[in-house]
Chain A
Amino acid sequence: MSVQSPADDEGSRALLARIARGDKAAMREFYDMHARTVHAFARKRLRDDHEAEGIVIETMMVVWNAADRFRRDSQVRTWLLGIAKNKCLDVLGRRPADEHESIDDHHDLADESQVQPWQAVHEGQLQAALRRCMQSLSALHQSVLHLMYFEHLSVAEIAQVVDVPEGTVKSRVSNAYVRLRPCLTAAGFGPGASA
């Protein structure tokens, strides 16, 4: 799990300043700090290990070439994930059309019947079922959940990374929750027990 402190961000900014001057040792340090974050995100988004490694290289090349263009008002990790997201879109754009995802970004959050809590009587079993059911989500939904619970980004930060309004991020999150439901119901975790 990756939680970034303000000190980490300051350290990353200092490294970017050195990278902008062509410091390769700083590039190594920056890579050690952030490559796994980019890799984990790209794996979720592309579902392909080899392509995810390529995204790490492409993203770090942009860092090397554009470190001096980093905007001081954003976090380094958010900036980096935004670059990685754009690189992922390049890869997805080259894939056949039938692999493109159809996303309903406008799911109605108010539809309460679809977001009733699951039964949580068997915690261990629920965890196992959730991990299995999450595999059935689209890569886009998985990547949003990854940014939420692996990178611990806020709704505003995720909106910045994926370049959509905050409302759209919330809709995607809600949508992911709703899409987990049939799988969890089939696994014996139906809604409503605690309602």
Chain B
Amino acid sequence: MNLDAQERRRLLDAAPWYANGTLPVTERHWVDGAMQRDPWARAVVANWTAVGAAVAETETVALDDAVFDRLMHRIEHETRKVAVTADTGSLLRRLQSAMHALLGGALSPVAAMASVVIAVQGIVIGYMASGDAADEERFRAAGGTGRPVPALRVMIAPEASEAALRARLLQLDLRIGGGPTQIGEYWLRRHQPAERLEDERAAVDALARSLQDDPLFVAVRVDETQGER
């Protein structure tokens, strides 16, 4: 007995997934039965099987090894930046110890500490500046000029929905001020920045700390860029 109109609709819905092997077992058995009853059902399934075979036979292109090399270069570059920042504390202690050994009792502990802090800051800032040069270059090329503006630089979690993101930005009075960079980072800015640069820096720093464990963002840091695009 051939399928009636309702059964044909059911078969049309199920056939593509029967052909790709992901149809639930009960529905699969129903399709098997339908194919035994009606040549039309067999033809529909045969068509989808043919489509599947054609897709599967599509030529695949090998992925160049250079792609992996580019990936590792990016990982090395970014991991080193994080490591330098994270290691600041231990580097500080090592430098403090080295300075103390070098200077002995000739320098007071406070003065020695101040010297170390200045030295470490120089190292870190110099490193970060060189690491960010490419992104800043892209930013300037995109037309960003003017006085430094503190901003949050974030990577949005892949599972974050647009609605959740909008709600969070609204809640924090933030807007997307630029991006994405080549690694998918965005700049977030406050809608109403403070008039004094120091106040704005403090506000953005506080925001960065509050967002560290936010599931909507993968990486959050403070960035100062020249104007915005």
**Chain A interface residues toward B at CB < 8 A:** 1, 22, 24, 27-28, 31, 35-36, 39-40, 43, 49, 53, 56-58, 60-62, 64-66, 69, 71, 79, 82-83, 86-87, 90, 109-110, 112, 115, 117-118, 120, 123, 126-127, 130-131, 134, 145-146, 148-150, 152-155, 157, 170, 173-174, 177, 180, 193-195
- Pairwise interchain contact B56-A56, C-beta atoms closer than 8 A: no
Interface residue from B52, B60, B63, B70 paired with A148 (Cβ < 8 Å): B52
Given contacts A110-B9, A117-B44, contact A82 B159 (CB under 8 A): yes
By Cβ-Cβ distance, the 7 closest A-B pairs, closest first, are A117-B43, A194-B43, A154-B22, A149-B55, A130-B54, A149-B52, A83-B158
The B contact surface, by secondary structure, is: helix
Q: Interface residue tally of chain B, by bracket?
A: 35 or more
Given contacts A35-B63, A149-B20, contact A120 B50 (CB under 8 A): yes
- Pairwise interchain contact A40-B155, C-beta atoms closer than 8 A: no
Write out the residue numbers on chain B whose beta carbons fall within 8 Å of the beta carbon of A36: 60, 63
Write out the residue numbers on chain B whose beta carbons fall within 8 Å of the beta carbon of A43: 61
Shortest distance from the beta carbon of A67 to any chain B beta carbon, whole Å: 10
- Pairwise interchain contact A149-B71, C-beta atoms closer than 8 A: no
- Please tell me if B192 contacts chain A, counting CB pairs below 8 Å: no
- Complex: A28 Cα to B12 Cα, angstroms: 42
Which of B17, B63, B74 gathers most chain A CB within 10 Å?
B63
- Please tell me if B109 contacts chain A, counting CB pairs below 8 Å: no
- Pairwise interchain contact A69-B159, C-beta atoms closer than 8 A: yes
- Please tell me if B146 contacts chain A, counting CB pairs below 8 Å: no
- Please tell me if B107 contacts chain A, counting CB pairs below 8 Å: no
Name B59's closest neighbour in chain A (CB-CB): A131
Shortest distance from the beta carbon of B214 to any chain A beta carbon, whole Å: 11
Shortest distance from the beta carbon of A140 to any chain B beta carbon, whole Å: 14
Given contacts A131-B58, A134-B55, contact A57 B70 (CB under 8 A): yes
Given contacts A49-B61, A117-B40, A180-B51, contact A58 B183 (CB under 8 A): yes
- Complex: A58 Cα to B183 Cα, angstroms: 6
Interface residue from A53, A62, A71 paired with B67 (Cβ < 8 Å): A53
Interface string of B172-183 (1 = CB under 8 A from A): 000000001011
Q: How many A-B residue pairs have CB under 8 A?
A: 153
- Pairwise interchain contact A134-B54, C-beta atoms closer than 8 A: yes
Shortest distance from the beta carbon of A145 to any chain B beta carbon, whole Å: 5
- Complex: A99 Cα to B20 Cα, angstroms: 30
- Pairwise interchain contact A173-B16, C-beta atoms closer than 8 A: yes
- Pairwise interchain contact B63-A56, C-beta atoms closer than 8 A: yes
Give 19 CB contacts A-B under 8 Å.
A1-B56, A24-B72, A36-B60, A39-B61, A53-B67, A56-B71, A61-B71, A64-B75, A65-B78, A66-B157, A69-B218, A86-B158, A120-B47, A123-B50, A131-B58, A148-B20, A149-B56, A154-B17, A194-B43
Shortest distance from the beta carbon of B71 to any chain A beta carbon, whole Å: 5
Name B9's closest neighbour in chain A (CB-CB): A110
Write out the residue numbers on chain B whose beta carbons fall within 8 Å of the beta carbon of A66: 155, 157-158, 218
- Please tell me if B39 contacts chain A, counting CB pairs below 8 Å: yes
- Pairwise interchain contact A146-B55, C-beta atoms closer than 8 A: yes
- Complex: A109 Cα to B44 Cα, angstroms: 14
- Please tell me if B46 contacts chain A, counting CB pairs below 8 Å: yes
Write out the residue numbers on chain B whose beta carbons fall within 8 Å of the beta carbon of A22: 79
Write out the residue numbers on chain A whose beta carbons fall within 8 Å of the beta carbon of B184: 58, 61-62, 87, 90
Given contacts A120-B46, A154-B22, contact A148 B158 (CB under 8 A): no
Write out the residue numbers on chain A whose beta carbons fall within 8 Å of the beta carbon of B28: none
Write out the residue numbers on chain B whose beta carbons fall within 8 Å of the beta carbon of A71: 159
Which of B12, B40, B47, B57 gathers most chain A CB within 10 Å?
B47
